[in-house]
Structure 1
């Protein structure tokens, strides 16, 4: 009766927080998925509850592969996000300092971030993920899904979702190691181990990154004290397949970091100080998948955990403030696959899912003493996808959130459509949806000398849509895409005096994204992106840290030297003018809006594999020596150079 969808065997990958995205629940299953990604790069993990080929996706999504990360020699994930259309990155200084990412003009905490199916937004940091500590340790791919996604993922997904997936091992036993030295006394080392078989896989990666850095407070303002950074990141993945239709998986990650920070002074803003912070981030997930009815029915269970703890210390080493955010999520998902060949040659997928999520915030300071608050959310979601004649692809999803009586329960939805004209290689795509961002625990209950929480806050509400056309030329050697997007956000939560309130009116955001990918010559690839964004609050004032113009160009060339592979990669990133708000808690009258200038970053990387499995590489960053600010008062590194050696043993 059921016609099993063969592609589904490599597509039921993970069970996500917020909407219970189907997660690959064993290393064998994930290994299958990664093989599919390598052989079918169009397969996208995060655009739906179950992965699907890119031609079927109505939403806008960008995929960055492990190969691209290696070619660009990216060490901090936020650096490569600057190449993604619709994404703005703001870092308050050099590597390790506070780093925010905004999608399509929305706020940083309106973007959901996931790592291996674990939601990592910090409940104790305005439900936002700080990208400062996220190194490229064992990352296989990054997917950036743009537009409202709450119907799939729940709160925090008004702007979109960034899904980060780590590597699984090759068959056999492998060892990889890397060592790097560079400007600002930077030292970076990484070791990875992996073993893969049909029944059992395990992979582990450890990276240590140390730099003396620069002054976080801009040196042009007379600040000279360097702010160093130390990060140790470890990841482990284990998968077991005890029987043919049962898959089990465990994922763990820990980030231990120390950061020198700068302070602020009346009117002047950022200035040198001897303040520091110490952070410990821990993430974990266990999951299991049972496939029934010859693969036509999948049952998925998962439990995930995140803990993000930071101590802030003064010049004497005394702790002045402690903050810790935790979340625990339990989820169940059921996926049904069937086809009706005689009716529109249709293939159908139906998903039903439920989850329970508890978020907790702990703070301790001399002002308020220790304080713990928490919130529990129950989410119920369903999604239906259908493929008609292998040309028309439709999906619809609805989610209901029970918010534990703190504020109104919410219903969100999303619809997508894509149509492929086979004869002309033209693909039309579009999506629409309603999304929400729940008030954060700090906004509800926070307490500082100048702030008191507001337990009467309501969720922020967003409605957005996009529509675009993708056109392929020359047998897919040139692909162009242009997309218009439009977002409306109500109940925006902002500070008002000594508390937070839902502001009246509607924030309006719209813009255009343009991408182009081409392979004009053998072994040469060019990728270009441009985004225009107009983001205004309900009073028509430009929203801060949202540049109207963002563009990037990445060129890569593979070639041989003495019959050994070599590679050169050039990336150019343009960030247009943007506004910023200068807050001054000591002198509120001095709070003002300023304009930050545009800048262009040019990076060049090269590598040469001089022996089997042994590679030497070099790169230069900010080759134009641009002096710029992403955040007012905080400087940025000038021209810098790095070199290293990478060796791989195996597989054996």
Structure 2
């Protein structure tokens, strides 16, 4: 445990005053979308003008749920399915609208966080939530804006900025499975600068990764230390220079997998490190109507896999990017009451992956140049249209061009917004799928990129003076040349995979200080052979109720997540796959907090209140009922 977290565990009980770092904001709000979206387009866009399906989770919602891992709150987002392979710290995948995990792009403060050495997928297992300000989930093909990995959608994570006088916030908690979680931050800022530094540590003895109900009783522990820093300076009006960095180091005990049996107890461990860095300069000219953004990003992820204490395989993936974007904003009030935004961008990206083991080693890279254009128009503050196009050139595949169209129409005085979007997408084979090699796998350099397209149509309706917000969306997606496993390699599956479904959301504030939220998603996905796509439950639902009382000193939050029956793959002793069915499950979580004073807050929660037994991945276990309590301080 790092020295600062030991100090926090000692200091917290002595202080008896404070507030939870994540609960520093006001009362829960029923608003479905925030005033601006930073993800739906290349330029910050008012929520009323967004034509795509978008869900936002802000810091306040993370706070009242006492979210510690980002993946837990994403289970409540429409269109999103989450699967964790056993105990905390194990592989955690996210699928949007039935697309594969590596068809979702994850951005953290503008940095592409997907791991080139892990199938170009982002593992949500290690993403803690202490410093997160907002999470935007953009659904549907977004390759026209964000490139290859955004065929299914985008998860954009924005961390907090400092503001006001220099402030120290501390948090410490402990609970079931010998778990401790500590966090500390220092932040501040004014009109010319802002800064925030955050550290968070999570330690737990965990459960057996292999399902205990199958005779596995060895606990698999997890350790995670994460640090982040964010700095911005504004030396002149219209000029901002910013720097952001994030570093995570983790150790996760795990188990083995045997054909014909599944997950079994074993002495295995993964040690990993994740580093993200971005430097950016923004310059606004002509009173902000001509904007220039120049940035450089770096993402480095490495993992050592150990068996019986000896490193058996090493992986490292790196993504470096230089980008430039210019935005031109103007209006045509004399000809037509309309606001226009023209955007042009260029991105140069270097991606490489390395792997070494007793069986083989590879070191490959791909360079990509992307040219992006986007046009947005808002007519009479009622009809908003956008059109985006992207052309990519790389040294491994043919050039590709993708595009996206959106529309949003607001009916004045009714609180109604009608929206629709259509987009095309592409997902290049990962470097491991092309060139990787293990004892049981050999890459296929002849793979073609996956191509897809999708559309949706929806309505957002505000009622009862904005106390009720309802949204409904119907969507369809198609993916050609889906890459799938075949024996000891990967192949393109001939034909088209088809996915369709519907998403519903409801937010109600029946009385002041009470907020109710509900969501439901129906998804039906089949591959080109007509087989149901695995780990895509047809039915997912959630309900959340939050109540503030005693003049906002106390808060209670109830969360319910339902995950319907889903198919998964089982493997015989020769690793031939067959389909198995995993039962549905319902998780109930309860959280409460009480502010002792201006500087102190007590909090606690119970996860899986009714001790539900379930599997998210075949033969892998999941935690039972767990309770946690702690104290937050602010100075």
- Structure 2 counterpart SS, 1:106: coil
Kindly indicate whether the alpha-carbon contact (under 8 Å) linking 1:256 and 1:279 is maintained by their aligned counterparts in 2: yes
**Could you tell me which residue of structure 2 aligns to residue 133 of structure 1?**
126
1:265 deviates by 2.4
- Whether 1:602 aligns to 2:588 is yes
Identify the match of residue 60 of structure 1 among 49, 53, 62: 53
Identify the match of residue 620 of structure 1 among 606, 620, 623: 606
- Structure 2 counterpart SS, 1:80: helix
**Using the alignment, how far apart are the partners of 1:374 and 1:97 within structure 2?**
27
**Using the alignment, how far apart are the partners of 2:288 and 2:259 within structure 1?**
64
**Could you tell me which residue of structure 2 aligns to residue 588 of structure 1?**
575
Identify the match of residue 529 of structure 2 among 539, 550, 554: 539
**Using the alignment, how far apart are the partners of 1:108 and 1:439 within structure 2?**
13
Gaps of 5+ in 1: 1-33
**Could you tell me which residue of structure 1 aligns to residue 481 of structure 2?**
491
Kindly indicate whether the alpha-carbon contact (under 8 Å) linking 2:116 and 2:353 is maintained by their aligned counterparts in 1: yes
**Using the alignment, how far apart are the partners of 1:520 and 1:440 within structure 2?**
49
1:472 deviates by 1.4
Flag the 1:564–1:399 CA change in 2: closer, same or farther, 3 A: closer
**Could you tell me which residue of structure 2 aligns to residue 515 of structure 1?**
505
- Whether 1:111 aligns to 2:104 is yes
Where in structure 2 are the equivalents of 1:386-405 lying within 5 Å? 386-404=377-395
**Could you tell me which residue of structure 1 aligns to residue 16 of structure 2?**
none
Where in structure 2 are the equivalents of 1:162-201 lying within 5 Å? 162-201=155-194
**Could you tell me which residue of structure 1 aligns to residue 566 of structure 2?**
578
- Whether 1:558 aligns to 2:548 is yes
Range with greater deviation from structure 2 (569-578 or 371-380): 371-380
**Using the alignment, how far apart are the partners of 1:151 and 1:87 within structure 2?**
21
- Structure 2 counterpart SS, 1:611: coil
1:452 deviates by 2.0
Kindly indicate whether the alpha-carbon contact (under 8 Å) linking 2:260 and 2:575 is maintained by their aligned counterparts in 1: no
**Using the alignment, how far apart are the partners of 1:198 and 1:54 within structure 2?**
25
Kindly indicate whether the alpha-carbon contact (under 8 Å) linking 1:407 and 1:456 is maintained by their aligned counterparts in 2: no
Range with greater deviation from structure 2 (238-247 or 249-258): 238-247
**Could you tell me which residue of structure 1 aligns to residue 6 of structure 2?**
none
Gaps of 5+ in 2: 1-24
**Using the alignment, how far apart are the partners of 1:564 and 1:535 within structure 2?**
45
Cα deviation code 1:611-650 (max 9, x no counterpart): 112110010000111100000010101111000101111x
Cα RMSD over matched residues?
A: 1.5
**Using the alignment, how far apart are the partners of 1:237 and 1:588 within structure 2?**
46
**Could you tell me which residue of structure 2 aligns to residue 355 of structure 1?**
347
**Using the alignment, how far apart are the partners of 1:318 and 1:426 within structure 2?**
61
**Could you tell me which residue of structure 2 aligns to residue 49 of structure 1?**
42
**Using the alignment, how far apart are the partners of 1:581 and 1:282 within structure 2?**
33
Identify the match of residue 253 of structure 2 among 260, 265, 268: 260
Kindly indicate whether the alpha-carbon contact (under 8 Å) linking 2:487 and 2:575 is maintained by their aligned counterparts in 1: no
**Could you tell me which residue of structure 2 aligns to residue 631 of structure 1?**
617
- Structure 2 counterpart SS, 1:273: strand
**Could you tell me which residue of structure 2 aligns to residue 568 of structure 1?**
556
Where in structure 2 are the equivalents of 1:257-336 lying within 5 Å? 257-315=250-308, 317-336=309-328
- Structure 2 counterpart SS, 1:428: strand
- Whether 1:218 aligns to 2:197 is no
**Could you tell me which residue of structure 2 aligns to residue 373 of structure 1?**
364
Cα deviation code 1:373-421 (max 9, x no counterpart): 10001110000000001000000000000022x1111100000001000
**Using the alignment, how far apart are the partners of 2:613 and 2:318 within structure 1?**
38
Where in structure 2 are the equivalents of 1:89-104 lying within 5 Å? 89-104=82-97
**Could you tell me which residue of structure 2 aligns to residue 12 of structure 1?**
none
Kindly indicate whether the alpha-carbon contact (under 8 Å) linking 1:408 and 1:458 is maintained by their aligned counterparts in 2: no
Kindly indicate whether the alpha-carbon contact (under 8 Å) linking 1:470 and 1:480 is maintained by their aligned counterparts in 2: yes
**Using the alignment, how far apart are the partners of 1:129 and 1:478 within structure 2?**
35
Cα deviation code 1:430-459 (max 9, x no counterpart): 100001111100111111222222222111
Kindly indicate whether the alpha-carbon contact (under 8 Å) linking 2:593 and 2:604 is maintained by their aligned counterparts in 1: yes
**Using the alignment, how far apart are the partners of 1:234 and 1:227 within structure 2?**
24
- Whether 1:642 aligns to 2:610 is no
Count of residue correspondences: 608
**Using the alignment, how far apart are the partners of 1:106 and 1:238 within structure 2?**
35
1:583 deviates by 3.3
**Could you tell me which residue of structure 2 aligns to residue 241 of structure 1?**
234
**Using the alignment, how far apart are the partners of 2:537 and 2:74 within structure 1?**
15
Kindly indicate whether the alpha-carbon contact (under 8 Å) linking 1:436 and 1:459 is maintained by their aligned counterparts in 2: yes
**Could you tell me which residue of structure 2 aligns to residue 346 of structure 1?**
338
Kindly indicate whether the alpha-carbon contact (under 8 Å) linking 1:137 and 1:233 is maintained by their aligned counterparts in 2: no
Cα deviation code 1:548-571 (max 9, x no counterpart): 0000001111111xx561110000
Kindly indicate whether the alpha-carbon contact (under 8 Å) linking 2:59 and 2:133 is maintained by their aligned counterparts in 1: yes
- Structure 2 counterpart SS, 1:68: helix
**Using the alignment, how far apart are the partners of 1:129 and 1:596 within structure 2?**
24
Kindly indicate whether the alpha-carbon contact (under 8 Å) linking 1:435 and 1:462 is maintained by their aligned counterparts in 2: yes
**Using the alignment, how far apart are the partners of 1:555 and 1:440 within structure 2?**
41
Kindly indicate whether the alpha-carbon contact (under 8 Å) linking 2:259 and 2:571 is maintained by their aligned counterparts in 1: no
Kindly indicate whether the alpha-carbon contact (under 8 Å) linking 1:620 and 1:640 is maintained by their aligned counterparts in 2: yes
Range with greater deviation from structure 2 (173-182 or 235-244): 235-244
- Structure 1 counterpart SS, 2:150: coil
**Using the alignment, how far apart are the partners of 1:230 and 1:466 within structure 2?**
41
Greater relative CO, 1 or 2 (CA 8 Å, sep 6+): 2
